[in-house]
Amino acid sequence: MRGFFGIGAERISKSRNVGNLMRSAHGFGASFTFTVGSTYHSTEAFADTSKSSRHVPHYNWDKLGDLVLPKGCLLVGVELLDEAVELPSFVHPPQAAYVLGPELGSLSPELLARCDHVVKIPTLFCVNVAMAGAIVMYDRYRQFTHKPRLP
């Protein structure tokens, strides 16, 4: 796999969702995980049974202004918006940080304005934040490992 990626969420409040997201990120080979403006603390991620924080750096940024990404890393918002690119046709940047919204809400307008790309999973309604993250990481994996894509 080429490049690197990180994944995180804004204003997430349920530690199990963060734990599941972190565990999936570890499994898919993420370079880092993060939260922005969350009430979650890494010691509360009981669903992270792989103990990903021992293997993958995790950053808790209190506010959007604190968010710092590696040089050349593009921010990709994952949000169910009409103008967002549908995930199956999205070309993943080699260096990317994917950010998902909170359990009860959407990405903030300020964070959306900072995104280089916004993608959506073509579903009828929002899915669980940890599941959405896993879907995005799987799509990235398939694209960068040159596995055949579904029609």
Alpha carbon distance 65, 85 (integer Å)? 26
> Taking all residues of the chain, what is their mean pLDDT, rounded to a whole number?
87
Rounded to 5 degrees, what angle do the CA atoms 139, 141, 144 make?
110
pTM of the model: 0.89
Give me the pLDDT at residue 20, please: 80
Closest to 31 measured CA to CA, from 72, 79, 62? 72
Q: For 43-52, 70-79, 107-116, 135-144, which range has the lowest pLDDT when averaged over its residues?
A: 43-52
Helix (H), strand (E), coil (C) string for the chain = CCCEEEEEEECCCCHHHHHHHHHHHHHCCCCEEEEECCCCCHHHCCCCCCCHHHCCCEEEECCHHHCCCCCCCEEEEECCCCCCEEHHHCCCCCEEEEEECCCCCCCCHHHHHHCCEEEECCCCCCCCHHHHHHHHHHHHHHHHCCCCCCC
pLDDT band with cut points at 50, 70 and 90 for residue 147: low
Q: How many residues are recorded in the chain? A: 151
Residue 151: pLDDT band with limits 50, 70, 90: low
Cα-based angle 72, 110, 64 (whole degrees, multiple of 5): 65
Query: 4-144: CATH homologous superfamily?
Result: SPOUT methyltransferase, trefoil knot domain (3.40.1280.10)
